Amino acid sequence: MKTSISTDALSAAIEAVSAKSPLVHNITNFVVMNNTANALLAVGASPVMAHWTDEMAEMTAIANALVINIGTLDGNWVEAMITAGKAANRRGIPVVLDPVGAGATSQRTAAALNIINQCHPTIIRGNASEIMALVDASIKSKGVDSCASSHDALEAAKQLATDTNAVVVISGAIDYITNGTDVHTVEGGHHIMTAVTGMGCTATAIVGAFAAVEPNPMIAATAAMAVMSLAGERAAAYSQGNGSMQVNFLDELFNLSTDKL
């Protein structure tokens, strides 16, 4: 695993999540709720999964970060996401958006852009096609999978970051993190991670945990992606397939310590 932030900065971020155990409010999809909740617990954060519109303001009032994931959308969920996002903005807590499947349908792309415009996310994390679709609506994705490499989306990510004042993360063989000017990279992980459902969504949730304790969103996002990469790399070394990889990945997250960096 290689990353463009220092080992000291990464160690400090990991220790801060463990020490502060931030409450991360996730409005996420049915496919990954269990995976992301367990991943957050593994890094020392505290997850809550809630999407009822009527409790959004109150739930967000006790959270340290809000993660919005549009994987299984409907109109009520979009309303809840926007309500929670506005409440998070009022409180000054970070909002992390995962525009799952942007580019697959016009409705999904429009919903992601609407959330961006109304909720002003601190960090946007997606795959290459999703990030490109948020800049150019003519870009199409393969469902929730990317049709492009992370490097292909770097210029689009810079443009999106500039337009939204958010840090943008592109997941891929190399992860890119940009604020529109600076670019951080994380190299590592393993290709078997793409065979485990919800790995990208897990990354977004962990970004939320790190953003809750690290005020610099570039450092928070880079540290979170480095943790994903390192845990994936270590877990893949002894996994037999995607089933054992899923379990081993959670164990590596749980047992991650600064001496392993």
Q: Name the band, by pLDDT with cuts 50, 70 and 90, for residue 144.
A: very low
Average pLDDT estimate for 145-173: 88
Which pLDDT value is given to residue 189?
85
Q: Domain spans of the chain?
A: 2-260
> Is residue 205 predicted with pLDDT exceeding 60?
yes
Tokens representing residue 237 in the block: 């070394």
> Is residue 147 predicted with pLDDT exceeding 90?
no
**In the chain, pLDDT over 70 holds for what percent of residues?**
95
Report the CATH superfamily, name and number, of domain 2-260. Ribokinase (3.40.1190.20)
Q: Name the band, by pLDDT with cuts 50, 70 and 90, for residue 6.
A: confident
Q: At residue 150, what are phi and psi to the nearest 5 degrees?
A: -60, -35
> Is residue 75 predicted with pLDDT exceeding 50?
yes
Average pLDDT estimate for 191-210: 95
Segment 225-247, tens digit of pLDDT: 999 999 999 999 999 999 999 99
Which pLDDT value is given to residue 148?
63
Burial class (CB within 10 angstroms; exposed 0-12, middle 13-18, buried 19+) of 69: buried
> Is residue 127 predicted with pLDDT exceeding 80?
yes
> Is residue 130 predicted with pLDDT exceeding 80?
yes
Average pLDDT estimate for 190-207: 94
Average pLDDT estimate for 131-140: 82
Which pLDDT value is given to residue 141?
59
> Is residue 138 predicted with pLDDT exceeding 80?
no
Average pLDDT estimate for 15-44: 96
> Using an 8 Å Cβ cutoff, are 71 and 31 in contact?
yes
DSSP tag of 257: -
Which pLDDT value is given to residue 137?
64
Widest Cα–Cα separation across the chain: 47
Which pLDDT value is given to residue 210?
98
DSSP 26-71: EE--TTTHHHHHHHHHHHT-EEEE---GGGHHHHHTT-SEEEEE-S
Please tell me whether the overall predicted TM-score, pTM, comes out greater than 0.75 for this model.
yes
